[in-house]
Amino acid sequence: MDFWLIILFAAIGAPFVLAIITAIRRRSMTAGEEGEYYVARHLRRLDSSKYFVINDLLLRKKNGRTTQIDHVVVSPYGVFVIETKNISGHIYGSEYSKTWTRHWHGFARGGRYMSNELTFDNPILQNGAHVKALYDELRQYNVRLIPIIAFSPEAELKVDVQSVAVVYWHQITKEIRKYTEQYISVEQADTIYQFLLALNIKDKESRKQHAIEAQNNKTTYYQNMNSYPTRPITYNHGSLDEEESAEAWNELNRMYNNKQQDIMDDERTERGGILKFVVLIMAVVAIVLILFSSGLVRRKSSPNKQEAQKQEAVVANSNKDFAVPEAEWKALQREVRALRQEVNQLKANTCKQASAPRTTVASETPAKSTAAKASAEQPAQASTSVTANDVVLAKYSHDWLDHDAQVALQNNISKTITSISGRIYYYDMSGNMLDYQDFTKSVTIEPGLVKNFKLRGYGHDEDYAYYKSEVIPTNPNRKYKVKFELKSYKTK
């Protein structure tokens, strides 16, 4: 019992622990790292025997500077160079423009509707530099380099691009699988993959220096841009002049930053509440587990179960040299109850036992013959003797879907049978007895004919089936065999 409680505790606690680790990890990520994390998760769905994925590849170019590629997928169909963007809003741009634009809109203080446009580097040209760096390294291999731009699902793409795929994160694997023309073998793809892994810079100092250089380049770029849009910001009452436009721009940025801070605070509060709830649930489960394991808490048994436990204890303690297994003891109890029922039934029906001596007609006196004739005229009488071949099992069927089993018995005597008492034994496929069932049926079976009737099927609540019948597909081992034993019968 303790083992299964531990398994239950682990099954319940594992998802919560995983959710906590994921939440902590996401909280420490930047927007770019979060985007790369989700794209990497989607790339895991590719067939690893044909597609070799490298995430966060850092290469050193010929001029000594470094370039960082978000994702590279090496395959027989080409080398896919993926640039990930975690940007929301309406995205505008063309294939050869220097920059793209993210359009944002919202309500400013005072209820005025305002909008702004933030500019960022053209990701196609940015990824083109990555493709060029890879081409310089893979010049000796006959490979095809395929650039792909992957945006967050929160973005609404309104770009004019023809030659490069610009997709959402969840569409990345579908885009890669579109390429089916093989250029190189799988072995050659694996060679290129190992070659790029060897070129990948993993030194922390080099990666830190690359991050500083990239941040400096981005800061210089934005310092050269205007501090506010060159065209007036519009709202529902017309246009603003340049001074009002600058003031509105600054106000809008302050409002946006405050709103983002509020959202982050709310998310932290919500995550904190969920974390406290999860910790509380895990603590309760741990306390219950400890109590059950230490024996301080036990389930209250029913009176019948307590009495059975006392009887088993008496049997076990009465003779320590004679050990009775629990299963055998229960089987003996069932046998005793069945024998008692059989004795009472035989007394009620005044049936003769199978071992009763036979009487012949020649030894009868006239008085006894008259009595026998009168007795024969009664509606039904018990058989004078019982042999195994008097009534045999002609057919038995029980599907796993059915509650009852279909039993067919054949009458091999010269009289009409009106009632049968017997026993059905149930065995597993190895020949071990599982259980048995006693029955008495009032059925009319003419000489030489077969009669069908229903009996409760074995293990019907556990989807058991007779081995010749239809077995449950999800558990084909739940099969059993039967054996029929004739106890007595009545004739007319």
Element (H, E) at 342: helix 326-349
Predicted confidence at residue 375, as pLDDT, reads 45
3-state secondary structure of 451: strand
Residues in the chain, overall count: 492
301 close to 309: Cβ distance less than 8 angstroms: yes
CA dihedral 461, 464, 465, 467 (to 10 degrees): -170
DSSP assignment of 291-337 = HHHHTSS-PPPPHHHHHHHHHHHHHHHH-TTS---HHHHHHHHHHHH
The separation between CA 221 and the C-alpha centre of its own chain, rounded to angstroms, equals 50
DSSP assignment of 24-84 = HHHHT--HHHHHHHHHHHHHTTS-TTT-EEEEEEEEE-TTS-EEEEEEEEEETTEEEEEEE
Distance (Å, rounded) from C-alpha 157 to C-alpha 23? 28
Report angle CA 179, 183, 184 to the nearest 5 degrees.
Answer: 120
Predicted confidence at residue 294, as pLDDT, reads 64
**What domains can be seen in the chain, in order of their start residue?**
2-276 (no CATH), 338-347+381-491 (2.60.40)
Predicted confidence at residue 399, as pLDDT, reads 86
| C-alpha closest to that of 151 among 64, 77, 89, 230 | 89
Predicted confidence at residue 228, as pLDDT, reads 33
| C-alpha closest to that of 55 among 79, 73, 30, 35 | 73
Phi, psi of 186 (to 5 degrees): -65, -35
Structure token pair of residue 435: 């259980």
Predicted confidence at residue 369, as pLDDT, reads 44
Which amino acid type is present at position 95? Answer: E
User: pLDDT tens string for the chain (492 positions)?
Assistant: 455 556 666 666 666 666 666 666 555 556 667 888 889 999 999 999 999 999 999 988 888 888 899 999 999 999 999 999 988 888 999 988 899 998 866 655 455 566 667 888 899 998 998 999 899 888 888 889 999 999 988 888 999 998 899 999 999 999 999 999 998 999 999 999 999 999 888 877 777 777 677 666 554 444 443 333 333 333 333 344 445 545 555 555 555 555 555 555 556 666 666 777 777 888 887 777 777 666 655 555 555 555 655 555 555 554 444 556 777 777 887 888 888 888 877 877 754 444 444 443 333 444 444 444 444 444 445 445 788 889 999 999 988 778 889 999 999 998 999 999 999 999 998 889 989 999 999 989 999 899 999 998 888 778 888 988 877 766 778 889 999 999 999 998
Predicted confidence at residue 202, as pLDDT, reads 83
442 close to 418: Cβ distance less than 8 angstroms: yes
| C-alpha closest to that of 127 among 162, 95, 90 | 95
CA dihedral 310, 313, 315, 317 (to 10 degrees): -140
Predicted confidence at residue 376, as pLDDT, reads 44
